[in-house]
Amino acid sequence: MEIWINPRCGKCRSALNELTGAGAEFTVRRYLEDPPSVAELEQVLVRLGLEPWDIVRIEEPVAKDLGMKQWGREAGDRAAWLAAMAEHPILIQRPIITADDGHAVVARTPEAVRSVLP
């Protein structure tokens, strides 16, 4: 299991505490320091069952600078969203946990974190 975190994020710290408290084995990825590639983002989105615009932090200053609220949300728009997320990982919703069983969650609630535990 891997968790993508920003250590300054309270939801990330809560998710880490939940995983640790459950005795889960996991790897931490500080995704701002080790940004995911477009290919990795695509894989995680498949596992999440979501589209790129579903996991973008649209209120981040960089999203506002890029005008992302007005970006299209069709299949042909995916590449632009993915490129922006890879270039500006602060745009990626957090924390994201990829579970060993193949699924993933945006783990912003204790229930979401628990959903990946064996």
Write out the two tokens for 58.
Answer: 């649209």
Choose, from 1, 2, 9, 114, the residue flagged as catalytic: 9
All residues at 6 or more sequence positions from 88 whose CB lies less than 8 Å from its CB, including other chains: 60, 62, 66
Is residue 56 helix, strand or coil?
strand
Decide if 9 is catalytic: yes
Between CA 77 and CA 87 the distance in angstroms is 16
Please list the active-site residues. 9
